[in-house]
Amino acid sequence: MQNTIEYTGDGSVCISGHPASKKYTGNWKACSLNLVCLFCLYLAFSSITKNLVSYLTKVLHETNVDAARNVSTWHGTSYLAPLVGAFLADSYLGKYWAALIFCTVFIIVSEALPLISTGPHVRLAWTDMVSCQYIIVFVGLYMVAIGYGAQNPCITSFGADQFDHTDEEERNRKSSFFNWRYFTLNAGSLISGTIIVWVQDYQGWLWGFSIAALFVVAGACTFLLGSTVYRFQKIGASPVARVCQVVVAATRNFNKDLPCDLSLLYELPEQGSSIDGRKLEHTTGLEFFDKAAIVITSDCESAILLNTWRMCTVTQVEEVKILIRMLPIWATMVLFSTVMEQMFSTFVEQGMVMDKRIGSFEIPAASFQSVDVITILVLVPVYERILVPVFRRFTGMENGVTPLQRMGISLFLSMLSMVSAALVESNRLQIAHVKGLVHREGPQYFLIGAAEVFSIGLQEFFYEESPDDMKSICLAFSLANYSAGNYLSSFIISLVPVFTTRGGNPGWIPDNLNEGHLDRFYWMMAALSFLNLLAFMFCAINYKSKKAS
């Protein structure tokens, strides 16, 4: 009985491979180091993100369109990299070693970035149009995106692993970890968007990037410091292989008929339904994949003898169905990420042509992104303490609203943000000769921040609905939504000059925004957001949730 209490019940081990002690490993003493690491890494990353458009236009002399497009593409890559990190962590390396490897990449590149970003503008011999510095800077930036993005799901899920899900008290603390994680990231974002962005604009990019590099080193060292008190989960089977097995088995059984009694489809006994997971009940729809569970041998007593590429369990089939059913929800949230991306590109360019002075102090245009961060820091506790109880009174649900409802609210608020930005820009163009006041951008940043608070429902939805053995990679897939949104933003911004500069017109987003119509771009995004909201509502109403026994 003493051993049962002394060690964790989730099968986790310490760094030496022995069962993890509940007293000496994990919990908040390990998780606090994880949060400090997340704070440092995100502060460094966001200090580059928030002012990158300014660096590209002022130092590399890019046009507004090129800078906005490049920022969107780069930002998108940083949210695509988590898929790589999550796959390697869940299938081969483990979360701890995957996090250390990609943190090392982040350290090396961040240390080199201050030098290559401020180096001499030497032109290559074969052409006057391409710069050595230009190429090296972008290679460095994309390595930063890969290093930070790939470690993101590894460190986050590794932090959640420090709490034993078989212990009710620790399970409740795990929920608090995600709340503190979100708060910590935005605290780092606030510091980077105010202090470090100011250093970059007025003390030089060398100082700004050097400070970011120091925080990367501090974060990685903090993470490494807790190695002896961490809990480690054993590596399971590859989730990608499980999905491929269902597709291959269903294809092989394409010509076979499903049994009239679907309970005859193959399933393992209760305890071995899936790797460390629960059994999933059969659901109607997507019958093609059910063919993967057609019994093709009479010898089903020994699972070892079965060829999993010819016959899969019902649970394994339902895992694939879940992933497919989540895709439309994921797709309708892409435009939300596209709207969010405007905060790092067109919002900054809009602020750069406004009067940024408050008294004798001039605020960098990128620092106004702090309105978004402050909104999140304030609204997260307001949502937990005030809005959830209010929603609960009307809905009767413990969490107030469902994750899908939260996502719907976030889409509506993001649409209002585009409307606000369009109105501000229309008014600014009317008084362009006095440049306007930058504080008028406040409402659009506030609405984006409020939308972001409700958009947490996206991660909540993917965590609750994903198969038990695919939680890490599904969370990474939800982060890839931001990547798709950034790439879509880059694509849209690339098309704008193609269709708006005909007949000698300067277009909607020229280098001199006083000669353009950025407001029309915002109105277009608002219209697209409205149509996307209708599509989301249709998908949400018709979504079929998973059934776990």
CATH number of residue 417's parent domain: 1.20.1250.20
Say yes or no: 158 and 192 in one domain: yes
Pick the closest to residue 56 from 123, 117, 130 (CA basis): 117
Residue at 328 is within a domain = no
Say yes or no: 304 and 432 in one domain: no
Does residue 133 register a pLDDT over 70?
no
Kindly indicate the confidence band of residue 127, based on its pLDDT and cuts at 50, 70 and 90: very low
Tell me the C-alpha distance between 547 and 451, whole Å.
Answer: 30
Say yes or no: 199 and 316 in one domain: no
pLDDT tens digits, 181-216: 878 888 888 888 778 888 887 888 888 888 888 999
> Would you list the DSSP string of 251-294?
HHTTTSPPPSSGGGS----GGGSBTTBPPBPP-SS-HHHHGGG-
Residue at 159 is within a domain = yes
Tell me the C-alpha distance between 181 and 28, whole Å.
Answer: 12
What's the pLDDT at 361?
Answer: 66
What's the pLDDT at 236?
Answer: 66
Name the domain boundary from 323, 350, 371: 323
Does residue 249 register a pLDDT over 80?
yes
Say yes or no: 150 and 2 in one domain: yes
Does residue 124 register a pLDDT over 70?
no
Say yes or no: 346 and 426 in one domain: yes
Q: Which amino acid is residue 120, in one-letter code?
A: P
User: By percentage, how much of the chain surpasses pLDDT 90?
Assistant: 13
Say yes or no: 453 and 520 in one domain: yes
| Contact criterion met (CB below 8 Å) for 236 and 277 | no
Region 9-36: mean pLDDT is 84
Does residue 302 register a pLDDT over 60?
no
Name the domain boundary from 203, 220, 235: 235
Please tell me the least confidently modeled range out of 104-108, 117-121, 213-217, 354-358. Answer: 117-121
Please tell me the least confidently modeled range out of 226-230, 330-334, 367-371, 375-379. Answer: 367-371
What's the pLDDT at 277?
Answer: 53
Q: Which is more confidently placed, 105 or 512?
A: 105
pLDDT tens digits, 134-171: 777 788 888 888 889 888 888 888 887 888 877 767 76
Say yes or no: 212 and 297 in one domain: no
Say yes or no: 403 and 430 in one domain: yes
Region 271-286: mean pLDDT is 64
What's the Cα-to-Cα distance from 193 to each of 3, 99, 200, 273, 364, rounded to whole Å? 49, 25, 10, 48, 9
Kindly indicate the confidence band of residue 123, based on its pLDDT and cuts at 50, 70 and 90: very low
Does residue 5 register a pLDDT over 60?
no
Residue 49: which residues within 8 A CB-CB, separation 6 or more? 75, 78, 344
Residue at 549 is within a domain = no
Kindly indicate the confidence band of residue 8, based on its pLDDT and cuts at 50, 70 and 90: confident
Report which secondary-structure segment, H or E, holds 362.
strand 361-362
Kindly indicate the confidence band of residue 387, based on its pLDDT and cuts at 50, 70 and 90: confident
Say yes or no: 259 and 368 in one domain: no
Name the domain boundary from 201, 235, 269: 235
What's the pLDDT at 40?
Answer: 92
Across 8-12, 56-60, 75-79, 145-149, the highest mean pLDDT is recorded for 145-149
Region 228-246: mean pLDDT is 82
Q: Which long-range contacts (CB under 8 A, 24 or more apart) does 131-138 make?
A: 131/60, 133/60, 134/60, 137/60, 138/70, 138/74
Strand partners, 274: 277
Indicate the average pLDDT of the chain.
79
Region 99-115: mean pLDDT is 83
DSSP 384: I
Q: Which domain holds residue 535?
A: 333-544
Helices (H), 128-254: 132-160, 168-191, 197-202, 205-225, 239-252
Across 2-11, 251-260, 439-448, 525-534, the highest mean pLDDT is recorded for 525-534
Q: Which is more confidently placed, 346 or 417?
A: 417
| Contact criterion met (CB below 8 Å) for 189 and 45 | no
- Strand, coil or helix: 229: helix
pLDDT tens digits, 335-377: 998 998 888 778 877 777 776 666 666 666 666 777 888 888 8
Please return the burial class of 520, using the count of CB atoms within 10 Å of its CB with bins 0-12, 13-18 and 19+: middle
What's the pLDDT at 126?
Answer: 38
Report which secondary-structure segment, H or E, holds 357.
strand 357-358
Does residue 529 register a pLDDT over 90?
yes
Q: Which is more confidently placed, 224 or 167?
A: 224
Does residue 510 register a pLDDT over 80?
no
Kindly indicate the confidence band of residue 275, based on its pLDDT and cuts at 50, 70 and 90: very low
| Contact criterion met (CB below 8 Å) for 105 and 147 | yes
Say yes or no: 86 and 131 in one domain: yes
CA angle 496, 58, 347 (to 5 degrees): 45
Residue at 252 is within a domain = yes
Residue at 83 is within a domain = yes
Please return the burial class of 105, using the count of CB atoms within 10 Å of its CB with bins 0-12, 13-18 and 19+: middle
What's the pLDDT at 183?
Answer: 81
Say yes or no: 159 and 280 in one domain: no
Residue at 49 is within a domain = yes
Residue at 19 is within a domain = yes
Please tell me the least confidently modeled range out of 94-108, 149-163, 444-458, 468-482. Answer: 468-482
Q: Give the number of domains in the chain.
A: 3
pLDDT tens digits, 460-477: 788 778 776 677 788 788
Report which secondary-structure segment, H or E, holds 358.
strand 357-358
Residue at 443 is within a domain = yes
What's the Cα-to-Cα distance from 187 to each of 141, 373, 423, rounded to whole Å? 23, 8, 30
Region 3-32: mean pLDDT is 79
| Contact criterion met (CB below 8 Å) for 322 and 461 | no
Say yes or no: 28 and 140 in one domain: yes
What's the pLDDT at 112?
Answer: 76
Does residue 385 register a pLDDT over 70?
yes
Tell me the C-alpha distance between 339 and 333, whole Å.
Answer: 10
